[in-house]
Structure 1
Amino acid sequence: MSASIASSVTGTRPPTPTTAVPDVVRPYRFQWDPSNRLPGPESVTSDGRGVDAIPQLGNLNLNFSSTNLSLGSVPEEWSSAKHGFNAISTVLNNPHKPQDPPKAHHPLPSVPPAELPRVRRKDFDPYLSSISDEWARFETAHRNTEAGPSTPQHLPPLDSVPSVFFSTDFSLTDAATFAAVTDNEDPTSLAHSLPLIEKLSHYADVVETHLTHEISERSSSFFAALHNLNHLHAESTQCLTQIANLRAMLEDVDDNVAKRGLQVVQRETRIHEIREVSVAVEKVSSVVELSARARSLPWHEALDVVDRLEKSWNPPVGEAEAEGNGLSVPLSALDAFSVLPDHLRTLTLEITSSLSTELSSALKTDLFSRIRGSASEDALKRTSEPLVAGLTRTKGIREAILSWREVALSEISTLVPENLKELPQPEFLDALRTTFDTILKALDALHVQGIVVGQVLQATQSNQETLQDDFTDLVGSATELAHSSLAKIVSARADKHIALPLPEFDAFFSATWSFVISCEVACKRMVVSLRAAAVAQGKTWLQAFHQSRLTQSAKLVEDELWNPKETAGIVQTTVDRIVESAVRDVKEDRPMKPAGKMLQIEERNYFTVHATSDVLLLLADYLMVIVNLDMLITDTMSRAIEFLKAFNSRTCQVVLGAGAMRSAGLKNITAKHLALASQSLSIMISLIPYVRETFRRHLSAKQAVMLVEFDKLKRDYQEHQNEIHAKLVAIMGDRLSAHIKTLKVVDWNSPKAGVNDYMELLMKETVTLNKVLSRYLAPAIVQDVMTQVFAAINHRLSGEYAKIELPSLEAKERLLADARYLRERMTGMQGMGGALQMLETVVQEK
């Protein structure tokens, strides 16, 4: 089938015209023989003609290669095995890049200009001689082809090939391109495929013909470039040969001259170094002996040895000889002394540990001497000065102070006896005060030691600020440790302290609080543990103290029989102290005043009862608490107000509520009971301002707002007292109602001498009330009460008199006699006025 296709193709179009090549043309060969060099064509670079000077070749066999040259005609240095294949086709075409199909109008790649050396004409003689035979054959062939045309006469036009084949993106995989090539016909059909194959073959022949023609036209330029490349190859080979010769010469000079001279210099240097090492070994032995002997020396001499060796370890450049070891190199450069730094550090640590122990021992001795009161700052300074100086040299002063810190805290912890918990209160208080004094002396000793050591450090020009802070921190830590131990002991005795009376608890609390303040001043900061324990125990004691007094007060009021009692001297003295406390704190004991019938407050006198007198003594205890325990001022004030409220409430219950009839066994509550209860309230009303002022003096400006509670308390007492007075008026009102009932049943028809019984009994009770009130109450209060009583009598009797129907004149006289009797008996009583004649007027008008 392929034969038929070929015959059909041959029969459909004429073959591509070609030019016959003469038989005399032979393969082109290069011959490189300088001795047979003949004159040849001038260099393309010598006459300026360029590649166009080479004659056009008509029929040229392009199948020649340098492989056809005879063996030895080209030097081995030009072999591509050594320098690579440097043909122009290889230079222009990257072998690692796939080649694009040739394009009819694609320009040849540009060749960068080579920097060729300037050569002479005679330099080409060897080359021309080597190609003379080939050149002769070339000229013969050229003469034979001059008669014929240089180019084919009838080249098929390139326009006959459709432009789609010259497209840069030509690809038969593209549907549009494939349709244009096949003319939109089915290429699988035999009727269409054969003409299509012939057409494509014709297009290929046209393109091939034009490519052959173009190559023929450019063959002269190619051979000129090849000539130049060969020449460059020869020049580069010669250059490489010269470079190889120079390298060989340099290696010979290096081996025979330079290296031998260098060996001589190195050996002379080695001899000099050996001599120096020999001398240094002797000096090193002395250094080793010195370092070994340092342990047996006193610490200050040992430190001198350490300093010398440390300076010799890595001295500044040029100063090794001046350091005293005689070595011209630092010790750090010698392997024999690689462990010397560790040895020196160990020796320094041993000296530091020894000095720290001695310093701690000296400070400990000074501490206990100061506690006993037999220490001297000069002695401490003399003892510590050499030790501190040594520790400064070893840079171990801080570690020494930290070591002393542990020793000092351990000794401080032993200053607090463990048996304090079980001692009776008197022995405990004495032992506690002794412990407080010992700890304060110890803290003062630590403070003085810090000052002395700081002075010594300042003399050595050391940085003593940080170390002074360490001593200050030591004082604070010792204070906290002592307070923590004491707080545990105080907390363990809380049950015993709560039950203490005020003087004994005051002695304990005052001593503890004074110690806390002194310690905080010494360490310049607040210490919480003992402070908190003391305050908490104070509050607990105050609560127990308050609860005890509330119980006592309630019991006293409930058991009170409300009879007047002589004022004991201690009661009067206590009241005077309460009054004086409003101006200043009263702590000292004052002479006892004599007993009296009435209690005197300033210029006013009051009757008192047993319960009130004892309650006044209990009230004074609260004031003693704030004078002695000023840390509990606000808690004490609130409890004092609660105590006074409880007394007021309890008094109201037993008097107005008739609670005394049950608790004290009274048959009834009389006017005397009410009057004495009113007197008790008056006493409290009079003392509340003094109590308020006492608390005000101890309160801060912000706490003073709490004093308003005293004003409320005073109003409560006054309201209670007014209720008692109203009770007196109510009692007389009840008696008046009973007498009015008697009045209503009087028989006015039967004659009777004197006044009626109701009037006689009413006046007797009224006079008795007036006498009782006048005896126990203030005149103003008596007048106020009696005025209300008289007003009630007049009002009630006037109404009853107006209702009575008198049967006769004798009955009117009897009623008028009752009115006159009332006026006569009330004349002179407080609260009486013109209203006494009102009843007589009512009777006369009947």
Structure 2
Amino acid sequence: MSSISDSHQLEKRAVPWKLCTICKEKLIFKSPREFTRHLRDFHCTKEGGSYVCRYGLNDVCPSLPVEGVSDRDYEDHIARDHVCNQPGLDGRFKGFNHMSVQPRPIAVPPNMANSEPSVVQDQHRWTVFNASVNLPAALNDPRLIKRETDFFSKTWGQDFYEKTYIPPSPFLPDIEKFHFDKYLHRTAGRLKKHQKHLQGPSQLEEQETFLTKAVKQTEKNRAELEQIPKLFMNPNFNLENPETFNAVFPWTQVEESRVDNSGIRHSSKLLQEKLSHYLDVVEVQIARQISMRSEAFFVTMTSHDRLQEKMKATLGSIKHLRDKIHALDELMARGSLRVLKYAKAKANHVKLYKMLKLMATVHQTQPTIQTLLSTNEFVGALDLIATTQEVLSQELAGIHSFRHLGSQLAELAKVIDIMMQEDFLKYVSSELNRPVTDTVPLTDEERLVAVLFGMLRLQRLDFIELYREEAFTAMKAVVKQTVIEAVLAAEDIDTEDNTGRLADHMRRLNYNQWMQLVMDLFSNYLVILNRAKAFHGIASDVIGIAAGKTKALTPVTSTTEDAMNSSEQATHLNVSVAEEVDVMLTTDSFNKATASLREMLYSIGDHAHDRCVKVMNARAKDGFLERLSSAEFVALSREVEKFVTDCECICGRRSMSLRGSLQSQANRIVNRFHDERRNKLSLILDNERWKPADVPTEFQILVDHISNTGKLSLPEKKTDPERKPGEFLMVDEQRFAVVGTVLMLLKIIVEYCQIVDDIPSVAPDLLTRLIDLLKIFNSRTCQLVLGAGALELVGLKTISTKNLALASRCLQLVVYFMPRLKKHFEGKLISKSMNMLKYFDQILKDYKDHIDEISNKLVTIMESMVHAQLSKWEVKAPMPSPCFRAVCKQMSKLHEAVIGILPEEQIKVLFIRINKTFKRLLREQLVKLNVTNDGGPQHGLVTSDLAFYAGSFKTLRGLEGLANEVNDAWEKR
């Protein structure tokens, strides 16, 4: 009690580690460890590897040196001076380190030495599991601005890394003794009772007393029973055993009885007394035990009697219950069970009957399949085989008599597959090879539908490829048959000579016969394509029905109901199909089959075009197509275009092989046509003498037709014998003096435009070639006239002004028709080729430049003549001077040369330029001669010449007032 009171008084004293006297916030600590950690975190500084305590006034500890101590000395200082600084507590906290109390060492088993710390044994011991910061986290802290200087001199531990003090949670209250007052008050009564029990005799002592008495009595009984030999206590004691008998009755006593009878009686008596003694001891023990358990024996016997009585009553009840149950069993259970037994037997009999009936039906499978195959019911036969195989594998599994039927049905399915393929090929061959005069697209539709459903039932989609191959074969035969018929129909071909190939005989056909062959071939191919289109429609409907995408046409469903019930109705089938058709194809298979059918139709159309291309190439080997006229080629182009359009309507896709072949032939024709016209134009230009030519009637009619219709096309040939050739070409009330070459060029241009109208596909090619032809005419005209090439070619003595004016007028004629030519091609070119129209603008500019060059040439000729005359001019009488007379004569000759060729407007513009040139040269000559308009004699002479010069223009038509003003010839002063 004294120790308890002392500890209570100690607790009442003020404990130093309970409160920090330095911090403004009054923190209360629960243990010295928390107080020590607080001093280390907030009242300690580290300088290098030394610790300086700052727990005191002005951050100076009165008991620790200022220079600092080690980590261990710092811990001892806190425990000694700040935690245990009261008398009587030094010994209690002596050696205080990281823990407030050093626990008593506990022995650790060897197998637990390296294991994790024990909660019970090691709860006060610091281990690596108590570390709050690991070394990599401390080294890689991104919040540190720079490394600490004492980093490598620190001691590793829980205080190695600085951390912010986290105050205790305000949500965790401090537990004091008054919190347990209610509990102590409630358990005070039980505590008193417990203490009272502790003060009285314990049950253990009473139990020990009872056990002591029982042990003493047992020891006493054991001492008495030990007198009896162990042999009699053996559970297997039996005197019939010789060893046991000899042990109870020794042989020595028996042998001694033979010697001395008195001894026998004595020893037997002793043995009898000994055994009697043993019996008495046993009986006494038994009696004692019985006496001790007499009450239990009495209760047992009484209970035994009662038990016997209850057992008799129970047996009676059981017997009565059994009798009653037996009666109930006979009355209620056995009859019902017999009913159930009979019902089960009936069900078994019905099941057996159905099984036998099913076996009989399966037994008739093969004859039924043969019957279905005889009527082309392939789908029904295959369904029957599949159903029978399913029945054999499920309901009739294990039936010995049907063990071979499954394999037989599988072989039969393979035979049906082969039969369907053969039947399909036979049908397709006969269908495609029918005479082309038979215009019915499809015959025997029921047979085709039956075969298609059968092949789809086996997931055989290769029938599409088979049909395509058969169609290719049929097309090859159609070509051969058509050519043979065309050759035989030609009367001028000897068909008795069969040594040549069929293509050689075909080349002997003339244009009309060959065109008839082409039209017949196109017609026959359209028949084949229509048959393929009909097959495509039937196959599409069958595939749609097999995939559940299309509703089949049934004999009991009206058209109105079909339109109401389904948006996708079979549009090609003309035969009725069962209303409920099993879905045989998946969506992927349906899409694949539909795409294959579409590609089949495309490929058949492409093959038809390829075959036609081969026929045309075979006929074109001898240059037949290149020799065709434009009208003939146009007729061929129209037939080809019609066939291509019909094929596109049937197949749904435009094929380009035949059109491409025709395009290549058209390009060859264009090349030949262009080469002929270019050579013809070059030859005419080389022989052109550049003199005005009479305009034949046909050219004037051509120009009139263009003017009246506004189209560059050839007119219908009309003979007008009364109409004579004209001197000029009249174009929209304009007169053109032309040479024969430009007339031929004009006709060639119209022929180009006519070909463009007939064959629009060659418009880009013809445009470039026509531009090339126009460039040739322009460049050759420049070479022959301006370049004086005609002097050598045709033997002209000189290139006169009349030749130049005529060349300019011919170029003007071409320029006049250039906008119409551009407009004509603009309507024939496709949108992506419209940029080619810029070539017309370029060639138009070239022609205009050429015309300007000819005008400049005329001015240059007159300038050189005037310069030559004025250089010899002298201002003296008589007047007019010979120089001015010669100039006026040359002016008159020039006007006479161009007046019938160039229009008056161009002549006036030309002579205005010449007049300006004359005045310029005269002004220079007057300056050179030092003659001025000062009113002197020379001024009068010059004025007289100028008056003569101005008067000469009055005689020139259209130039009467051109030289009225001549005073500007004088140099201005």
TM-score, with normalisation over the residues of structure 2?
Answer: 0.50
Q: For the structure 1 residues 696 and 307, does the alpha-carbon distance in structure 2 shift closer, same or farther, using more than 3 Å as the test?
A: closer
- What displacement does 1:518 show? 3.0
Answer 1 or 2: higher relative contact order, Cα 8 Å, separation at least 6. 1
- Whether 1:339 and 2:464 are equivalent positions in the alignment is no
- Preserved CA contact (<8 Å) 2:526 2:647: yes
2:475 equivalent among 412, 422, 441? 412
- Whether 1:786 and 2:908 are equivalent positions in the alignment is no
Q: Distance in 2 between matches of 1:606 and 1:48?
A: 161
Q: Distance in 2 between matches of 1:725 and 1:611?
A: 21
After the TM superposition, which residues 690-839 of structure 1 pair with which residues of structure 2 at under 5 Å, given as runs? Answer: 690-701=820-831, 703-744=833-874, 755-800=880-925, 818-829=945-956, 830-831=958-959, 833=961, 835-836=963-964, 838=966
Q: Distance in 1 between matches of 2:968 and 2:452?
A: 116
- Whether 1:476 and 2:593 are equivalent positions in the alignment is no
> Counterpart in 1 of 2:639?
511
After the TM superposition, which residues 358-369 of structure 1 pair with which residues of structure 2 at under 5 Å, given as runs? Answer: 358-364=426-432, 367-368=434-435
Q: Distance in 2 between matches of 1:663 and 1:597?
A: 25
> Counterpart in 1 of 2:750?
620
2:524 equivalent among 438, 441, 449? 438
Structure 1 counterpart of 2:388, one-letter code: S
After the TM superposition, which residues 632-711 of structure 1 pair with which residues of structure 2 at under 5 Å, given as runs? Answer: 632-701=762-831, 703-711=833-841
- Whether 1:375 and 2:439 are equivalent positions in the alignment is yes
- Preserved CA contact (<8 Å) 1:578 1:690: no
- What displacement does 1:609 show? 0.6
- Preserved CA contact (<8 Å) 1:355 1:387: no
> Counterpart in 1 of 2:421?
353
SS at match of 2:735: strand
Structure 2 counterpart of 1:568, one-letter code: P
Q: Distance in 2 between matches of 1:459 and 1:291?
A: 23
Q: Distance in 2 between matches of 1:301 and 1:835?
A: 111
> Counterpart in 1 of 2:248?
none
SS at match of 2:730: strand
- Whether 1:459 and 2:459 are equivalent positions in the alignment is no
Structure 1 counterpart of 2:906, one-letter code: I
- What displacement does 1:399 show? 5.2
Q: Distance in 2 between matches of 1:386 and 1:696?
A: 57
Q: Distance in 2 between matches of 1:419 and 1:495?
A: 11
- Preserved CA contact (<8 Å) 1:313 1:330: no
Q: Distance in 2 between matches of 1:581 and 1:549?
A: 25
Per-residue CA deviation, residues 221-270 of structure 1 (Å, 9 max, x unaligned), is xxxxxxxxxxxxxxxxxxxxxxxxxxxxxxxxxxxxxxxxxxxxxxx9xx
> Counterpart in 1 of 2:648?
520
Structure 1 counterpart of 2:390, one-letter code: N
Q: For the structure 1 residues 801 and 600, does the alpha-carbon distance in structure 2 shift closer, same or farther, using more than 3 Å as the test?
A: same
- What displacement does 1:400 show? 5.0
Q: Distance in 2 between matches of 1:289 and 1:716?
A: 93
Structure 2 counterpart of 1:596, one-letter code: G
After the TM superposition, which residues 163-562 of structure 1 pair with which residues of structure 2 at under 5 Å, given as runs? Answer: 283=360, 287=364, 290=367, 298-300=374-376, 308=384, 310-315=386-391, 334-364=402-432, 367-368=434-435, 371-372=436-437, 374-376=438-440, 380-381=442-443, 383-389=444-450, 391-393=452-454, 395=456, 400=463, 402-417=465-480, 419=503, 422-423=507-508, 426=511, 427-451=513-537, 454=541, 455-456=572-573, 459-460=576-577, 472-491=598-617, 493=620, 496=623, 497-498=625-626, 500-562=628-690
Q: For the structure 1 residues 580 and 341, does the alpha-carbon distance in structure 2 shift closer, same or farther, using more than 3 Å as the test?
A: farther
Per-residue CA deviation, residues 390-440 of structure 1 (Å, 9 max, x unaligned), is 552564685555433322221112333562774466244443333223222
Q: Distance in 2 between matches of 1:697 and 1:304?
A: 64
- What displacement does 1:828 show? 4.2
Q: Distance in 1 between matches of 2:784 and 2:954?
A: 35
Unaligned 5+ segments in structure 1 are: 1-46, 56-68, 76-267, 321-327
SS at match of 1:608: coil
Q: Distance in 2 between matches of 1:74 and 1:828?
A: 186
Q: For the structure 1 residues 276 and 643, does the alpha-carbon distance in structure 2 shift closer, same or farther, using more than 3 Å as the test?
A: same
SS at match of 1:623: helix
SS at match of 1:375: coil
Higher helix share: 1
- What displacement does 1:778 show? 1.3
After the TM superposition, which residues 41-80 of structure 1 pair with which residues of structure 2 at under 5 Å, given as runs? Answer: none
- What displacement does 1:676 show? 0.7
- What displacement does 1:721 show? 0.7
Q: For the structure 1 residues 536 and 608, does the alpha-carbon distance in structure 2 shift closer, same or farther, using more than 3 Å as the test?
A: same
Q: For the structure 1 residues 576 and 683, does the alpha-carbon distance in structure 2 shift closer, same or farther, using more than 3 Å as the test?
A: same
- Preserved CA contact (<8 Å) 2:686 2:790: yes
- Preserved CA contact (<8 Å) 1:447 1:471: no
Q: For the structure 1 residues 518 and 607, does the alpha-carbon distance in structure 2 shift closer, same or farther, using more than 3 Å as the test?
A: farther
Q: Distance in 2 between matches of 1:445 and 1:602?
A: 59
Q: Distance in 1 between matches of 2:439 and 2:962?
A: 94
- Preserved CA contact (<8 Å) 2:378 2:450: no
- Preserved CA contact (<8 Å) 2:362 2:388: no
- What displacement does 1:627 show? 1.2
Q: Distance in 2 between matches of 1:705 and 1:305?
A: 68
- Whether 1:603 and 2:738 are equivalent positions in the alignment is no
* CA RMSD, Structure 1 to Structure 2 (Å): 4.9
Q: Distance in 2 between matches of 1:564 and 1:335?
A: 111
- What displacement does 1:767 show? 0.8
SS at match of 1:775: coil
Q: Percent identity?
A: 20
Aligned residues: 571
- Preserved CA contact (<8 Å) 1:443 1:479: yes
1:589 equivalent among 708, 711, 716? 716
Q: For the structure 1 residues 333 and 409, does the alpha-carbon distance in structure 2 shift closer, same or farther, using more than 3 Å as the test?
A: farther
> Counterpart in 1 of 2:83?
none
- What displacement does 1:717 show? 1.5
Structure 1 counterpart of 2:953, one-letter code: M
- Preserved CA contact (<8 Å) 2:378 2:451: no
Q: For the structure 1 residues 350 and 579, does the alpha-carbon distance in structure 2 shift closer, same or farther, using more than 3 Å as the test?
A: same
Q: For the structure 1 residues 600 and 332, does the alpha-carbon distance in structure 2 shift closer, same or farther, using more than 3 Å as the test?
A: farther
TM-score, with normalisation over the residues of structure 1?
Answer: 0.57
- What displacement does 1:517 show? 3.3
> Counterpart in 1 of 2:699?
571
Q: Distance in 2 between matches of 1:695 and 1:303?
A: 63
Per-residue CA deviation, residues 134-153 of structure 1 (Å, 9 max, x unaligned), is xxxxxxxxxxxxxxxxxxxx
SS at match of 1:600: strand
